[in-house]
Structure 1
Amino acid sequence: MLEKGKISHRQLTVLSLLYTIGTSILIVPSIMSVFSRQDGWIACLVGVVADITIIFIYSALSSRYPKLSFVEYSEKILGKWLGKAVSLFFMSFIFLLSAFLLRVVGNFMTTHIMPNTPIEVTIILFILVVIYAVRLGLETTARAGEIFLPFVIVLFLFLTVFLLPQIKIDRIEPFLEEGFKPVILGAFYYFNLQEQVILLMLVPYSNRPDKARNALLVGTSIGSLIIIVTVLLSTLVLGTEFTQRNMYASYTLAKQISVGNFLQRVEAMLAILWLITIFFKTAVCMYALSLGTAQTLQLKDYRTLTLPFGLLLVFLSLIVYDNIVSFISFTPKVFSLYATIFMVIIPVLLLSIDTLRASLKKEQSS
């Protein structure tokens, strides 16, 4: 199905970093401004602490079964049939998330880059590239991530440096104007937009699964730092009200940059940066979806599922929500609660059950 040890510890870090940035660099500034206003960057910090905390839980779980994926050790812990039910439930979550990612790509491209191109064309072209990457294998995608990562970092630093002269510090004041409640609410939404639990499907395919925690922590931390800086810049340059009204606030932010007469369309750089990161996040999700389903159904090769899943995702992405307004309403309020089941409740239950079972066996043997 897929050989163990196909990617290095460094490549797992890179994939974690690009996965963390994903769609967040484009849509998080607006969502944080809606719920936490000028304290959105503080909400992101709290959300990052939650992400790092949950990674310790994930690593504790995966360290018990270093050669198995999340789907495989779910069956080990819960038994064959209950484990398969949980695995398929988990696959439904990844499937829905993948549809959201595709729709965000389609909306952004048809709104800002190619307004005369039907959204269906954009989504189909994008998923075909993702399917091709998934079929080439995890190692190939991870190596591509290593190649593209320097470009992502350089583009981000370029955008940050040239926005510094437009910063107005008073736009993030007053701090905690409405107390901690909006910050905690924003942190909850930020935490659930990261979906780090899906990375557990890649851990056993690292050549150092025992070092997976460090890879996930480093990748998540650096990616989160980039998102926090983007949220902070959106508030400092655009202001809270303007950021709230723009779904793709960071893209609007890039439009504020003009470097002389030779570099006018700087926002295209942000679009490239974002397309790279969302490609890798979608590819990871497609891997997890195909691999997990193949493992649950005991298929020989996950690649046979990539094209059918791709076709289904195109269809679902077109009907998953009606417009941007419904997306903004559904994603934080409904999808976040749904994601909590898979990001927190199920991993904690699996770890608790496995720990309890191990302690009972130890008592019986003694």
Structure 2
Amino acid sequence: MEETKEVTTVQAATTLISTIIGVGVLPLPLFAVRAGETGAPFITLLGIGIAVLGLLIVTKLGIRHSDQTIITYSEDIIGKWLGRFFSLFVILFFTILTALAAREFGAVVITAVLLETPLEVTVLVMLLLAAISARNSMNTFAYIHNFYIPIILAPVLIIVALSLKNANFLYVRPIIASGFRDSFYGALTIAALFQGSFIMTLLIPSMKKPQSAMKAGLWAIFISGGLYLLIVLATVAIFGAEEMKKLYWPTLELARTTSLPGNILQRLDVIFISVWVIAVFTTIFASYFLTIHSIKQLFRLQDHKMLAYFMLPFIFVLAMIPQNIVQMYEVIKMIGRAGLMVTILYPMLLFLVDVMKRKRRKKSEAT
């Protein structure tokens, strides 16, 4: 690696948290309720479990190859050409993920805030901001995430905590309210919202103590997953499962119905939207950064900066493909579930092959 190892364990954890908590915060309860009705919190918990499994595998692999990213060590594990072939899928997936996150951001903004602003403008502005920021080094990347994490976490936790005073926990009973098939697909959709944790593959080679990456990852999943679970629990307990099916962004409605004690501020949705914009930026920034760094390593380029603007038009075009909000969320769910093959099954395959190769090597050395 050309960069010094300056990323701390805390910075790695905060980077993961701010990457995971992003645009998916708004539709999260809707995805969970459609899959599990009153059992939405249980579905969310299952999704978090799947996400933990994926992060553990990616982190374990990264620690075993602490000076490389998945783009480079995959070539050592399964061969140069096969590794590059699968790396193309990783790059393609995170390119699409960046585009869909930007499109979802644009859809929310022109619907809830800037009603007269063209969709293309909001999407392009966010992508341009991410492209400019992605030209920085890994250390600056980690510092940016570390700076924004209190601004993201504190207001959301306060809003969720204040909203619980209006909760009716009868709305979350029975705890398991759907069949195995619906629960499984719902859990996969929720797990897809944690795919930003794949940025760990890029963080480990720049960490001062790569062995502490597991600790950082577990703390990140615990905090971000706990926040997601609280949001789903609060929205279901306040609106009820049937009412939530009519809302595209239940979390935004939760903020609108919450006020500070003493009516100091009767609507917190303005604060929430401001925080959400920052959270979306950090998520898109991370996936954009991961995309261009992966391309740089795949083609053995000296620098990633020129790729930041080069990829911008491609990502923008992809972002504008969905025709409307309904189609956009159908694409997001489909791509998200399919992407689990890239973020969980592929690293699992690499891990199994790597373990077998090392065992075989030890046997041959012993003989």
Relative to the length of structure 2, the TM-score reads: 0.94
DSSP 3-state at the match of 1:247: coil
DSSP 3-state at the match of 1:123: helix
Counterparts of 1:105 and 1:41 in 2: how far apart (Å)? 25
Amino acid at match of 1:231: V
DSSP 3-state at the match of 2:258: coil
Matches within 5 A, 1:243-254: 243-254=244-255
Residue 7 of structure 2 corresponds to which residue in structure 1? 7
Per the TM alignment, residue 2 of structure 1 is displaced from its structure 2 partner at its CA by 4.8
- Contact map agreement 1:19 1:284 (CA 8 A) in 2: yes
Residue 159 of structure 2 corresponds to which residue in structure 1? 159
Amino acid at match of 2:257: Q
Counterparts of 1:66 and 1:2 in 2: how far apart (Å)? 14
Matches within 5 A, 1:203-214: 203-214=204-215
Counterparts of 2:200 and 2:351 in 1: how far apart (Å)? 17
Per the TM alignment, residue 179 of structure 1 is displaced from its structure 2 partner at its CA by 4.5
Per the TM alignment, residue 339 of structure 1 is displaced from its structure 2 partner at its CA by 0.9
- Contact map agreement 1:4 1:67 (CA 8 A) in 2: no
- Contact map agreement 1:29 1:40 (CA 8 A) in 2: yes
Residue 327 of structure 2 corresponds to which residue in structure 1? 326
Matches within 5 A, 1:94-113: 94-113=94-113
Per the TM alignment, residue 138 of structure 1 is displaced from its structure 2 partner at its CA by 2.7
Residue 226 of structure 2 corresponds to which residue in structure 1? 225
Per the TM alignment, residue 185 of structure 1 is displaced from its structure 2 partner at its CA by 2.8
Residue 188 of structure 2 corresponds to which residue in structure 1? 188
Counterparts of 1:136 and 1:113 in 2: how far apart (Å)? 30
Tell me the alpha carbon deviations over residues 106-156 of structure 1, each in whole angstroms, 9 at most, x when there is no partner.
Answer: 101111010100011111111121112111323223223222222222202
Tell me the alpha carbon deviations over residues 222-246 of structure 1, each in whole angstroms, 9 at most, x when there is no partner.
Answer: 0111111011111011211222221
Amino acid at match of 1:114: L
Counterparts of 1:6 and 1:299 in 2: how far apart (Å)? 22
Distance 1:2 1:285, change over 3 A: farther
Counterparts of 1:141 and 1:201 in 2: how far apart (Å)? 11
Amino acid at match of 2:111: T
Residue 287 of structure 2 corresponds to which residue in structure 1? 285
- Contact map agreement 1:24 1:227 (CA 8 A) in 2: no
- Structure 1: stretches of 5+ with no match in the other structure: none
DSSP 3-state at the match of 1:245: coil
Counterparts of 2:54 and 2:141 in 1: how far apart (Å)? 26
- Contact map agreement 2:99 2:316 (CA 8 A) in 1: yes
Segment of structure 1 superposing worse, 130-139 or 14-23: 130-139
Amino acid at match of 1:18: S
Residue 317 of structure 2 corresponds to which residue in structure 1? 315
RMSD: 1.7
Per the TM alignment, residue 100 of structure 1 is displaced from its structure 2 partner at its CA by 0.6
Segment of structure 1 superposing worse, 120-129 or 152-161: 152-161
Residue 59 of structure 1 corresponds to which residue in structure 2? 59
Work out whether 1:117 is the aligned partner of 2:121.
Answer: no
Residue 40 of structure 2 corresponds to which residue in structure 1? 40
Per the TM alignment, residue 199 of structure 1 is displaced from its structure 2 partner at its CA by 2.7
DSSP 3-state at the match of 1:49: helix
Amino acid at match of 1:50: I
Residue 266 of structure 1 corresponds to which residue in structure 2? 268
Residue 76 of structure 1 corresponds to which residue in structure 2? 76
Per the TM alignment, residue 95 of structure 1 is displaced from its structure 2 partner at its CA by 0.5
Q: Share of identical aligned residues, percent?
A: 23
Amino acid at match of 2:271: M
Per the TM alignment, residue 265 of structure 1 is displaced from its structure 2 partner at its CA by 3.7
Segment of structure 1 superposing worse, 48-57 or 178-187: 178-187
Counterparts of 1:311 and 1:202 in 2: how far apart (Å)? 26
- Contact map agreement 2:34 2:245 (CA 8 A) in 1: yes
Per the TM alignment, residue 103 of structure 1 is displaced from its structure 2 partner at its CA by 0.4
- Contact map agreement 1:197 1:342 (CA 8 A) in 2: no
Counterparts of 2:361 and 2:143 in 1: how far apart (Å)? 42
Counterparts of 1:234 and 1:161 in 2: how far apart (Å)? 11
Tell me the alpha carbon deviations over residues 157-190 of structure 1, each in whole angstroms, 9 at most, x when there is no partner.
Answer: 3212321221111111222233444333321221
- Contact map agreement 1:105 1:123 (CA 8 A) in 2: yes
Counterparts of 1:305 and 1:273 in 2: how far apart (Å)? 29
Segment of structure 1 superposing worse, 254-263 or 154-163: 254-263
Amino acid at match of 2:244: T
Counterparts of 1:181 and 1:80 in 2: how far apart (Å)? 38
Matches within 5 A, 1:131-150: 131-150=131-150
Residue 353 of structure 2 corresponds to which residue in structure 1? 353
- Contact map agreement 1:133 1:140 (CA 8 A) in 2: no
Amino acid at match of 2:325: I
Amino acid at match of 1:174: P
DSSP 3-state at the match of 2:362: helix
Residue 237 of structure 2 corresponds to which residue in structure 1? 236
- Contact map agreement 1:4 1:204 (CA 8 A) in 2: no
Counterparts of 2:246 and 2:328 in 1: how far apart (Å)? 14
For these two proteins, the number of residue pairs brought into alignment is 364
Residue 126 of structure 2 corresponds to which residue in structure 1? 126
- Contact map agreement 1:74 1:83 (CA 8 A) in 2: yes
Segment of structure 1 superposing worse, 228-237 or 268-277: 268-277
Residue 303 of structure 1 corresponds to which residue in structure 2? 305
Per the TM alignment, residue 315 of structure 1 is displaced from its structure 2 partner at its CA by 1.5
Counterparts of 2:109 and 2:336 in 1: how far apart (Å)? 25
Counterparts of 1:134 and 1:97 in 2: how far apart (Å)? 16
